[in-house]
C-alpha cells in the first residue's frame, strides 16, 4: 500500500496510544475555534495531533474532517522518515541531510485515489472546505499547505509551502515571494503571456511535505526528492484540468487545481506569519480555481502558522542542510539546531569540539548564507545539549567573555527590514588559556543503575 496521510496517522496512533486527539463535536474554523483549541493544547504542553471530525466549511455547512499538529514534535518527523520516535535529534538531522541528496522515482498510478470525487468549474467551490481563520486580524481564511508548479517547457516540478487566502469560492491568492522558486515559474509564464498551472496539496504523508522544505536549487524536480523521502516511488496521475501535461500526487487527500492569470495582482494580508507578527497588506498573484478533487474519505490537512509545527517544519530540514555544509569544513561539529523559541528560523546553535579558538566564529559565519533570515548563531561545546535551551543559556552566561566572544556583523540579512539587518555570533565555548573549572556531573553509571531499578513511574 502506498504511503499517505491516513496510513501515517493510523500507524502513529497504534504505536503511541493517545497521540491523536479526536474532536467529534462541531467546530467552526471561521470563528477561530480550531486555532483556539490548538492554542489551549499548546499552553498545556500537549503535543497531540488533532483530528476534527465535524468542522464547518466556509459556507457554514459540514466540511470534510480536518487534521492539524501532524508536525508538532521532532519524534513525528523521525517516524515520517522511517526512524524511531526517540531519534528526533541529530539522527533525524543527518537523515534529512542524507535524503536531500538522493533522487527517487515516480510511477504512474493505475488508480487515482485523489480523484475519487471530482468537482469542476462552478462546482469547484473552495468555500466548501473547512479553511480556518487563524489569527484575530487575518484578512480571511487561509490554506497553509504546499503548492506545486511545473517549469515552463521544462520537466521539473517545484513544491513549496506557501499560504493562499480563499478570497472567494473560485479565487485564491498565491503568496509567491521574490525568493521563492514559484515566483520564477510564474514570471517565466508571464513573459509569454501564459497562465501558470498550479496545484495545492491538502494532505499527504508527512515525508512528502518534509521533502519540500529542503534547500534545493531551482529546477530540482521536487517530485523525485519527495520519492526519496517516502522511500518508495511517488505515485502520480494526470490532472483533471491539464491531463498528462501536469501530473498530481495520486495519494493526496485533496488536490486543488488552479491557474494563475498573467499580470494580475491583488492585495492579500494582514496574515499572522511565522515570526509571530502580522504580515502587512501587499500585492500578490491570484489563482482561479479549475477543479477540486479528493478521496471519498478525505481528511484535509492544515498547519497553524506561527506555532510549533510551523517552526519545526521550517527549521528541521534546514538543520540537515546546514549541518552537512558546516561539518565538511569543521569535522569537530557535532550538532546544529534551529530553536523553537526563535520560530525555527532566526536563532541557530552549533555544538562542536574546537581545534582552534577561531573555529566557533568561522563555523557560525557559514550558517548565515545557508539559512535565510538567520539572526543569531550561538556556538557551544559538545557537552551541551543543544535541544535544551536552558543548557544553552547556561553555557552562554558561564562561558562567554562578553568583551571577546560576541561579534556583530552589519548588513547581512534584510528580508524583514523591521527586524534589522545585523546578525550576531556568540562564542559560548570554554575559553582557551584560562584555568576553567570542571563541569558538575552525576556519575553516568549511577544514572543507569537507577534506570534499571525502574524507580521512576
> For 378-388, what is each residue's pLDDT tens digit?
999 999 999 99
Q: How confident is the model at residue 276 (pLDDT cuts 50, 70, 90)?
A: confident
Q: What's the rounded mean pLDDT across residues 269-291?
A: 93
Any idea which residue has 552562554 for its cell? 396
Hey, what's the cell of 234?
511517488
Domains of the chain: which residue ranges? Answer: 5-308, 330-428
Q: Does domain 330-428 have CATH number 3.40.1670.10?
A: yes
Q: What's the rounded mean pLDDT across residues 320-345?
A: 91
In total, the chain counts a number of residues equal to 457
Q: What's the rounded mean pLDDT across residues 17-31?
A: 96
Any idea which residue has 496517522 for its cell? 9
pLDDT in tens, 116-155: 999 999 999 999 999 999 999 999 999 999 999 999 988 8
Beta strands in 144-276 (DSSP E): 146-150, 157-161, 164-168, 171-173, 196-201, 234-239, 243-249, 254-260, 266-268, 271-272
Q: Please, what's the b/e burial string for 26-61 (b: 16 or more CB within 10 A of its CB; e: otherwise)? A: ebebbebbbbebbeebbeeeebbbbbbeebbbbeee
pLDDT value, residue 165: 97
Percent of the chain with pLDDT over 70: 100
Q: What is the pTM of this model?
A: 0.92
Contact 69, 50 (CB under 8 A): yes
Averaged pLDDT of the chain:
94
Distance CA 304, CA 39 (A): 9
Distance CA 48, CA 36 (A): 15
Residue 179 has pLDDT above 80, yes or no: no
Q: What's the rounded mean pLDDT across residues 330-334?
A: 95
Contact 101, 317 (CB under 8 A): no
Q: What's the rounded mean pLDDT across residues 304-327?
A: 88
β-strands 406-409, 423-428: how paired? antiparallel
Q: How many other β-carbons are positioned within 10 Å of the β-carbon of residue 457?
A: 3
Q: What's the rounded mean pLDDT across residues 336-359?
A: 93
Q: What CATH class does 5-308 carry? A: mainly beta
H or E stretch covering 211: helix 206-211
pLDDT value, residue 57: 97
Hey, what's the cell of 245?
501535461
Percent of the chain with pLDDT over 90: 80
Q: How confident is the model at residue 110 (pLDDT cuts 50, 70, 90)?
A: very high
Residue 457 has pLDDT above 80, yes or no: no
Residue 178 has pLDDT above 80, yes or no: no
Reduced to 3 states (helix: H, G, I; strand: E, B; else coil), residue 311 is: helix
Q: How many other β-carbons are positioned within 10 Å of the β-carbon of residue 359?
A: 20
pLDDT value, residue 63: 86
Amino acid at each position: 500500500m502506498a504511503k499517505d496521510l491516513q496510513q501515517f496517522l493510523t500507524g502513529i496512533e497504534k504505536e503511541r496510544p493517545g497521540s491523536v486527539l479526536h474532536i467529534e463535536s462541531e467546530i467552526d474554523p471561521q470563528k477561530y475555534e480550531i486555532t483556539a483549541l490548538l492554542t489551549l493544547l499548546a499552553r498545556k504542553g500537549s503535543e497531540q495531533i488533532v483530528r476534527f471530525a465535524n468542522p464547518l466549511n466556509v459556507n457554514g455547512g459540514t466540511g470534510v474532517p480536518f487534521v492539524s499538529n501532524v508536525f508538532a514534535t521532532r519524534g513525528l518527523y523521525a517516524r515520517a522518515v522511517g526512524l524511531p520516535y526517540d531519534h528526533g535529534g541529530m539522527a533525524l538531522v543527518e537523515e534529512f541531510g542524507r535524503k536531500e541528496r538522493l533522487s527517487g522515482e515516480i510511477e504512474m498510478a493505475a488508480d487515482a485515489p485523489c480523484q475519487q470525487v471530482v468537482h469542476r468549474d462552478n462546482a469547484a467551490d473552495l468555500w466548501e472546505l473547512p479553511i480556518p481563520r487563524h489569527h484575530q486580524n487575518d484578512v480571511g481564511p487561509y490554506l497553509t499547505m504546499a503548492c506545486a508548479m511545473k517549469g515552463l517547457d521544462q520537466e521539473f516540478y517545484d513544491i513549496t509551502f506557501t499560504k493562499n487566502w480563499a478570497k472567494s469560492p473560485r479565487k485564491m491568492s498565491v503568496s509567491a515571494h521574490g525568493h521563492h522558486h514559484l515566483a520564477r515559474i510564474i514570471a517565466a509564464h508571464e513573459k509569454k503571456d501564459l497562465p501558470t498551472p498550479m496545484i495545492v496539496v491538502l494532505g499527504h504523508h508527512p515525508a512528502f511535505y518534509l521533502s519540500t522544505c529542503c534547500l534545493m536549487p531551482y529546477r530540482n524536480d521536487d517530485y523525485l526528492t519527495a520519492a526519496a523521502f517516502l522511500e518508495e516511488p511517488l505515485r502520480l496521475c494526470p490532472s483533471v484540468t491539464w491531463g498528462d501535461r501536469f501530473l498530481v500526487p495520486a495519494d493526496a487527500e485533496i488536490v486543488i487545481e488552479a491557474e494563475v492569470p498573467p499580470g494580475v495582482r491583488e492585495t492579500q494580508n494582514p496574515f499572522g506569519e511565522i515570526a509571530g507578527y502580522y504580515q502587512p497588506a501587499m500585492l500578490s498573484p491570484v489563482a482561479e480555481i479549475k477543479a477540486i478533487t479528493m478521496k471519498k474519505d478525505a481528511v484535509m490537512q492544515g498547519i497553524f502558522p506561527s506555532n510549533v509545527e510551523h517552526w519545526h517544519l521550517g527549521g528541521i530540514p534546514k538543520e540537515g542542510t546546514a549541518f552537512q555544509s558546516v561539518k565538511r569544513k569543521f569535522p569537530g561539529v557535532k550538532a546544529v539546531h534551529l530553536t523553537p523559541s526563535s520560530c525555527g528560523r532566526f536563532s541557530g546553535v552549533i555544538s562542536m569540539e574546537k581545534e582552534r579558538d577561531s573555529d566557533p566564529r568561522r563555523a557560525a559565519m557559514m550558517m548565515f548564507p545557508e539559512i535565510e533570515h538567520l539572526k543569531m548563531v550561538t556556538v557551544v561545546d559538545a557537552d551541551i545539549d543543544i535541544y535544551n535551551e536552558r543548557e544553552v543559556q547556561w553555557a552562554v552566561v558561564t562561558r562567554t567573555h562578553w568583551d571577546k566572544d560576541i561579534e556583530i556583523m552589519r548588513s547581512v540579512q534584510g528580508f524583514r527590514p523591521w527586524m534589522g539587518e545585523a546578525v550576531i555570533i556568540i562564542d559560548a565555548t570554554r575559553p582557551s588559556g584560562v584555568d576553567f573549572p570542571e563541569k558538575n556531573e552525576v556519575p553516568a553509571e549511577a544514572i543507569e543503575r537507577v534506570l534499571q531499578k525502574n524507580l521512576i513511574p
